[in-house]
């Protein structure tokens, strides 16, 4: 259904220190990870905010940035390839299987990788008690703030936005979406604010992604 060819080509030429990555999960293992695991979803694709030279990043540069992120991850974690579609843009991403032993440090590491690769946000989930499911903003004025959510929903194949699609063995994918409450913003210092700011932020992201795609089509 989805084409991972470009991605796979990249991985063939990348220097691997871990022969395991990217791992291919069975449906059962993935469901188990979603229900009980600790995991993160992170990419290195374009930030919708096209300031800071993001606009000038070519496909090759994005591939290189994805490769750099995989290198940063590979000796620490196993990960699977994910195609994520958020705010109207498709992104090759990594579903990172966390260890959950030092959750605060893992959350901080994932957050810093989001910052390093100029991402709008990263997803961090820990199903062990207390359950944590957060989408953390990693750049711009929202840097450090996050939203919380609970659980995921498995989706059918006709979805168009806001989902992650994991490549499974036997040539199938599992598509799911995580539930987040975008109307409640939580700052670094744990202040919770009811606001429309994040809804507006994502609407703006969608407009910017749309613009980037239309400009690409012209070229
Ligand atoms: C995988 O699925 C695609 C389309 O669903 C099909 O074209 C392709 O032949 C399949 N590959 C294998 C190895 O089954
Ligand atoms: C994976 O497992 C989930 C939950 O049991 C199920 O809903 C889904 O259809 C399965 N998908 C595949 C591709 O087997
Ligand atoms: C990838 O990492 C290398 C080595 O740190 C760096 O020189 C290069 O600029 C990075 N590429 C991108 C696109 O960020
Ligand atoms: C995010 O905020 C921290 C301080 O909370 C700052 O040190 C860091 O440089 C900021 N990063 C970005 C990418 O804005
Ligand atoms: C977009 O990037 C510019 C330049 O770094 C920054 O000043 C601005 O706050 C960013 N806006 C958002 C919404 O991230
Ligand atoms: C995706 O999520 C946004 C909220 O961030 C929502 O406004 C939009 O309608 C969603 N799109 C789809 C197709 O579900
Ligand atoms: C918490 O952080 C927000 C934004 O980062 C700031 O406006 C607010 O003053 C802070 N509150 C406290 C008690 O430090």
pLDDT (tens, 9 = 90+) of the chain, 219 residues, equals 344 444 444 444 444 446 789 999 999 999 999 999 999 999 999 999 988 788 889 999 999 999 999 999 988 899 999 999 999 999 999 999 999 989 999 999 999 999 999 999 999 999 989 999 999 999 999 999 999 999 999 998 788 899 999 999 878 999 999 999 999 999 988 899 999 999 999 999 999 999 988 887 665
Does residue 38 fall inside a structural domain?
Answer: yes
Task: Name the closest ligand to CA 118.
Answer: 4
Does residue 80 fall inside a structural domain?
Answer: yes
How many domains, in total, are found in the chain? 1
- Does the C-beta of 5 come closer than 6 Å to ligand 1? no
Tokens representing 20 are 């395991």
Instruction: Count Cβ atoms below 10 Å from residue 18 Cβ, excluding itself.
Output: 16
Does residue 1 fall inside a structural domain?
Answer: no
Which residues approach ligand 4 with their CB closer than 6 A? 115, 139, 143-144
Does residue 202 fall inside a structural domain?
Answer: yes
Ligand 6 geometric centre to CA of 27 (Å): 26
Ligand 3 geometric centre to CA of 52 (Å): 16
Task: Identify the pLDDT of residue 215.
Answer: 83
Segments forming the whole domain that contains residue 32: 6-218
CA–CA dist 36, 21 (Å, integer):
21
Does residue 39 fall inside a structural domain?
Answer: yes
Task: Identify the pLDDT of residue 12.
Answer: 46
Return the best residue to mutate from 191, 193, 197 for the ligand 7 pocket (most ligand atoms within 8 A of CB).
191
Does residue 139 fall inside a structural domain?
Answer: yes
- Does the C-beta of 140 come closer than 6 Å to ligand 5? yes
Question: How far, CA to CA in Å, does 193 sit from each of 17, 129, 205?
Answer: 43, 24, 21
Does residue 207 fall inside a structural domain?
Answer: yes
The Cα angle at residue 205 between residues 204 and 211, in degrees rounded to 5: 90
Ligand 7 geometric centre to CA of 131 (Å): 24
Atom 7, ligand 1: which residue's CA is nearest?
1
Ligand 4 geometric centre to CA of 132 (Å): 22
- Does the C-beta of 197 come closer than 6 Å to ligand 7? no
Q: Residue 38 CA to chain centroid, in angstroms? A: 14
3 state SS for 9-34:
HHHHHCCCCCCCCCCCECHHHHHHHH
- Does the C-beta of 68 come closer than 6 Å to ligand 5? no
Closest-lying ligand 6 atom to the alpha carbon of residue 87:
1
Does residue 203 fall inside a structural domain?
Answer: yes
CA–CA dist 173, 97 (Å, integer):
17
Tokens representing 16 are 């691997």
């Amino acid at each position: 259904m989805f084409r991972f060819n470009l991605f796979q080509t990249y991985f063939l030429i990348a220097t691997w220190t871990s022969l395991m990555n990217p791992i291919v999960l069975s449906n059962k293992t993935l469901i188990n990870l979603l229900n009980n695991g600790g995991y993160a979803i992170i990419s290195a694709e374009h930030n919708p905010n096209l300031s800071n030279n993001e606009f000038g990043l070519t496909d090759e540069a994005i591939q290189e940035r994805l490769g750099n992120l995989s290198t940063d991850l590979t000796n620490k974690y196993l990960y699977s390839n994910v195609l994520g579609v958020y705010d109207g843009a498709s992104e090759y991403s990594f579903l990172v299987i966390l260890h959950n032993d030092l959750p605060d440090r893992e959350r901080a590491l994932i957050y810093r990788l989001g910052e390093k690769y100029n991402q709008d946000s990263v997803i961090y989930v820990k199903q062990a008690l207390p359950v944590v499911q957060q989408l953390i903003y990693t750049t711009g004025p929202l840097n450090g703030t996050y939203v919380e959510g609970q659980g995921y929903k498995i989706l059918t194949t006709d979805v168009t936005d806001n989902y992650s699609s994991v490549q499974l063995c036997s040539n199938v994918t599992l598509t799911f979406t995580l539930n987040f409450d975008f109307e409640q913003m939580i700052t670094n210092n744990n202040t919770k604010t009811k606001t429309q700011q994040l809804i507006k932020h994502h609407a703006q992201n969608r407009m910017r992604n749309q613009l980037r795609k239309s400009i690409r089509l012209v070229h």
